Each structure stands twice: as C-alpha cells, then as structure tokens.
Amino acid sequence: MILTRGARVTGAVLSAVLAAMVLAWIVRDIRAVGDPLDLLRYWAGYTDTRPKALPATLSADPVLLVVYVCAFFAALRSSVAAAALVATGLVTVALRLPGVWTVGASWTDARYGDELRTRALLGTFVALAAGLALIITGAAGRRRPTDSYEPLPTRPGRAAGVTVFVVLGISGAVVIAWEVRQFLTLPSVLYPDWFIGGRVVSLGLTAAPPGWSSAVLAVVCLVVAWTALFRAVHARPLGMIAAAFLLVSGAAGIARAFHHRVIDRIGDLGTEQQLMVLTSFLFALAGAVALPALARRGFEDVERPPQDDRGYGYPHTGEPGYGYPRPDTPGYGYPQSGGQGYGYPRSGSPGYGYPQSGYPQSGGSPGSPPPPASPPPGW
C-alpha cells in the first residue's frame, strides 16, 4: 500500500510544522544561553555546565528535529511514507504527552516564566494534535498502486532484520534492566517524579521525564526488534528513529565519561558505574549498526496491483498487459481458440511441428508414419 498524493502533502505539512516548532525552541535556547557550545554541553549532561539561562530543550529535541525533517522528505518521495508518518506520529505523541501535566505544574514556576510556560503548553497541544494527525494520515491515506511503475513499500532484508533484532533487542532489554534498578534503588518519594515529573527531577520544559522517555525507548526498541525479524515494513522507519535516539544517548554518555575523566579511572570505579559507561558504548554501537542497516533500501513488498481485464500482467493505463492474454485478446504464447499465433497449432489448423490427422504427408501416403518434425523457424 502506498500513500495518495493528498496524504503525502498533508504529511509533509504536518512534519514541517513539528520541525518548525522544535527549531524555534532550539533557537530560543541558543539565544538564552548565549553560547551554542554551552547548550551542547547541557544536552550532553555535563555536571559542570552553568548556562546563563535554563534551557527548555534536552538532547531529545535535536533528534526529533532530524526525525521531522526526514519525515518531511519521506512523505513526499519515499515508498515507506505511510509507515514513516505513523511512526513519527506515535513517537511524537508518546514523548509530548507528559507535557500536558508537567508544563503547567506548580513546581515549574521557579524555573521558567509564565509566558514561556504558556507557549510551551500551547506547543504541547499543537504537537499532540499534529502527531495524531500524522497517525491518521499515514493509516487512512493509503491506496493500492495502480500501475507497475509506482514503487512499493520496502521491507528490511533478511540480514538487516536479524541484525536489528539482535542490537535493538539487547538495547531494549538493557534499558528495562536499568529502569528496574532505578525502581529498586531510588527512594519511594523520588521514583514517581522520575517517571512522571516532579520538583526533585530536573528536566527541560518541553522534554519528557527521564523514566518516561526510557520506557518509551525500551518499548520501541523491543517492538522493532521483534517485527524486524519478520521483515515488517514499519520496522524500517520506526527502527531508524529508535536507533537515532540510542546513538545520541550513547554518544552523550561517552562524551560525559571522557569529559569528567571517568575513562581514566574506570578500573577504580564501582561495578554499577562501570556498567553505566559500558551501557553508553553499547547504545552508541547499537545505534551506529542499526541506523545504516535500516537506512539501506530493502526488498519490495510482495503485494502487487491486481490484474485487469486486458491481461494477467501489471496493467498500464490504456495499454494491454504482458503475460498470458485473456481469451479474446491476441498475444504471444499459446494461441487462443479462433486466433492465430505461434507455437503448437490447434487441432485442425496447419502449422509447424507434427502434422495433424487428415493432412497429406510429404513423401508418403495418408496413414503412413509421420517423418521427424523439423523445428519451427527461429528455434
């Protein structure tokens, strides 16, 4: 199934709106912080970063910006546009939903001004509406291809599916393991804020709480890992989104480890801290492997447009198809009743090959054994 032209345009417009909103928040943070490098350090999680103003975005926002730009071009040109729009909409709704109760909470008063919080709350509702519209557009705007020149959705290759199953499956399991560890170790008064946001957890104005975003990432990784094993069409766009988040998360963790010289003394660290550093390398490796594996063009879907009344091939508008023709259409191959063709003649018609009963034979009389048949011209 492919998208209609109207659905492609609608999806591109919605993706452009979401990209413009994220870009506006990033530009606001660059102006508020004053130095783009300070904003990058804040996104990476450096503990010694002291920006002039508290940014409203976190590292997930630039990833979403890239996702929306890719969805924009995919909606206009890609054969997996429907799956890309649905995947983008699902991730948008999942990550922007906590803003409904976190942006306007009382514990954000001391961190951000009223005007900024109002803009963020309106942006949250717009993002949720656009995300839902992307899901509806991608799901309801599909149609069957009308001719053989329209590209069909492509599935991951067999090797890519197995690779993604391994790397994203392991990554999703590791994320869940860390969240279980947080549940067991964090104080009871802290864990709810870790998952749904609160006064004791520092997070961006437009970002989801850390526990919430980790749960979303784990679910997406496991879903993609399982469906990629069966080479589902949606595994390509959804898996690329998950791989991008893993790559950025792992790269930020590695940057923190080098910046704070944790790598130099990793042997002196405790087991949990060592595992945290290894997890960053695992996520970066998983993202770097899964992203190009899914970005490569896969194999076309087996579904092809149905035959029409002009033949058994892929029909072209106004033109006869190729293959075995219908009974009243002349074609090549085995001739139809009452028609002329090439190959073995019908009974009672002269042709090439073994002669039919009742026709005189060359060099013999009727009833004598037929001579060896000569091949037809061109054989």
The per-type count for the chain, helices as H runs and strands as E runs, is 11, 4
Is the Cβ–Cβ distance between 12 and 223 less than 8 Å? Answer: no
**Closest alpha carbon to 275 in 286, 288, 262, 287:** 262
Q: What is the pLDDT of residue 75?
A: 92
- The structure tokens listed for 362 are 């060359």
Residue 286 contacts by C-beta under 8 Å, 6 or more apart in sequence? 167, 168, 170, 171, 243, 246, 247, 250
For residue 343, being part of any structural domain is answered with no
Coarse DSSP helix, strand, coil percentages of the chain, rounded to the nearest 5 percent: 55, 5, 40
Q: What is the pTM of this model?
A: 0.78
Burial (Cβ within 10 Å: 0-12, 13-18, ≥19) of residue 31: exposed
**Closest alpha carbon to 86 in 46, 135, 51, 132:** 135
What's the alpha-carbon Rg for the chain, to the nearest Å?
31
Is the Cβ–Cβ distance between 56 and 120 less than 8 Å? Answer: yes
Tens of pLDDT, residues 209-253: 999 999 999 999 999 999 998 888 889 999 999 999 999 999 999
List the chain pLDDT tens, one digit each, 379 residues. Answer: 678 889 999 999 999 999 999 999 999 999 999 889 999 999 998 888 888 888 999 999 999 999 999 999 999 988 888 999 999 999 999 999 999 998 888 777 778 888 899 999 999 999 999 999 999 999 887 777 666 555 677 788 888 899 999 999 999 999 999 999 988 888 877 878 888 888 878 778 888 999 999 999 999 999 999 999 888 888 999 999 999 999 999 999 999 999 888 888 888 888 888 999 999 999 999 999 999 999 887 665 544 444 444 444 444 444 444 444 444 544 444 444 444 444 444 444 444 444 444 444 444 444 445 555 444 444 4
For residue 292, being part of any structural domain is answered with yes
Separation of alpha carbons 376 and 350, rounded Å: 13
For residue 364, being part of any structural domain is answered with no
For residue 246, being part of any structural domain is answered with yes
Q: What is the pLDDT of residue 353?
A: 47
Q: What is the pLDDT of residue 146?
A: 66
Separation of alpha carbons 247 and 285, rounded Å: 7
Q: What is the pLDDT of residue 315?
A: 43
Q: What is the pLDDT of residue 371?
A: 52
For residue 270, being part of any structural domain is answered with yes
Is the Cβ–Cβ distance between 63 and 43 less than 8 Å? Answer: no
C-alpha distances out from residue 346 to 311, 332, 337, 350, 352, Å: 21, 14, 8, 8, 11
Segments forming the whole domain that contains residue 47: 2-145+152-300
Separation of alpha carbons 9 and 85, rounded Å: 11
**Closest alpha carbon to 134 in 69, 83, 95, 66:** 83
For residue 169, being part of any structural domain is answered with yes
For residue 269, being part of any structural domain is answered with yes
Is the Cβ–Cβ distance between 163 and 169 less than 8 Å? Answer: no
For residue 277, being part of any structural domain is answered with yes
Q: What is the dihedral of CA 116, 118, 119, 124, to 10 degrees?
A: 120
C-alpha distances out from residue 305 to 3, 25, 170, 184, 313, Å: 14, 45, 38, 54, 9
Question: Per the structure, how many domains does the chain have?
Answer: 1
